[in-house]
Structure 1
Amino acid sequence: MGILKLRKNKKFSYTPRYYDDKGQGNPFEIKHKFDDYRKSVGGNTGLKSKINNALDELKNNPDKEVNRRVLIIAAVLILVFLFIIDFDLSIFFSK
């Protein structure tokens, strides 16, 4: 076993005795319940495509209150951070 090599996980072809597949898919597949409705969840894509998918979800969200709430929370957190590091906000205002 090499120093930099990672060990592969073992795969077993196990099917339960009383498993009845009625279009539900694999019962052992780990999947989030909202994956079908989101574009940003998926394969390994580049950083640019991930950001574009997240912005598309933000723009095409039917619930606009959620977008506003997220922006308000982000603004409050940024202001708290600036307060903690003693940032002088007066540089943005002219005298």
Structure 2
Amino acid sequence: MGLFKTRKNKKFSYSPRHFDDKGQGNPYEIKHKFDEFRTTVGSNKGLKTKINHAWDDFKNNPDKEANKRILIIIAILVLIFLFIIEFDLSIFFSK
């Protein structure tokens, strides 16, 4: 009856009239702009693999200023979070 089956999309054999393939690949393929430069995009399966690829991308980044900037932003956000939950920072300072 088809109550529990999903509908299949219709497939058409359409080829564009004015498409000239000169080594550009498939015109219907949708890719991100920087896919060939990133290792974190793709068929990463599992959380551990994603974290490992992101860490390798972070370590092998030629722009070290961006890495420092990211670490500073993360530190500021952590301090803001600790301020919001009223964490006592005096335990880190000795008298």
Q: TM-score, normalised by structure 2?
A: 0.83
Runs of 4+ in structure 1 off by over 3 angstroms are 5-13
Deviation at 1:21, TM superposition (A): 1.0
SS in 1 for 2:45: coil
By how many angstroms is 1:11 displaced?
4.0
Aligned pair 1:19/2:19, yes or no?
A: yes
Distance 1:18 1:45 in 2: 39
Report SS of the residue matched to 2:36.
Answer: helix
Q: Which residue number in structure 2 is paired with residue 46 of structure 1?
A: 46
Unaligned runs of at least 5 residues, structure 1: none
DSSP-derived class of the 1:22 partner: coil
**Could you give the per-residue CA deviations for residues 31-77 of structure 1, whole angstroms, max 9, x where no partner exists?**
11110011110014111111111000000001100000011111111
Give the greater-gyration-radius structure (CA).
2
SS of equivalent to 1:35: coil
Equivalenced residue count is 93
Q: Alpha carbon RMSD of aligned pairs, Å?
A: 1.9
Change in CA separation of 1:64 and 1:6 when aligned onto 2, cut-off 3 Å: farther
TM-score by length of 1: 0.83
Q: Which AA in structure 2 matches 1:32?
A: H
Q: How far apart are the structure 1 equivalents of 2:6 and 2:94?
A: 58
Q: Match for residue 94 of structure 1?
A: 94
- Give the share of equivalent positions with the same residue, in percent: 72
Cα distance in 2 for residues equivalent to 1:48 and 1:41: 14
Q: Quick check: 2:44–2:50 contact (8 Å CA) kept in 1?
A: no
The change in CA–CA distance for 1:8 and 1:53 in structure 2 (over 3 A counts) is farther
Q: In 2 relative to 1, CA 29–58 (structure 1 residues): closer, same or farther, beyond 3 Å?
A: same
Please state if 1:55 is matched with 2:49.
Answer: no
Q: Within 2, Cα distance between the matches of 1:16 and 1:71?
A: 48
Q: CA deviation at 1:14?
A: 2.3
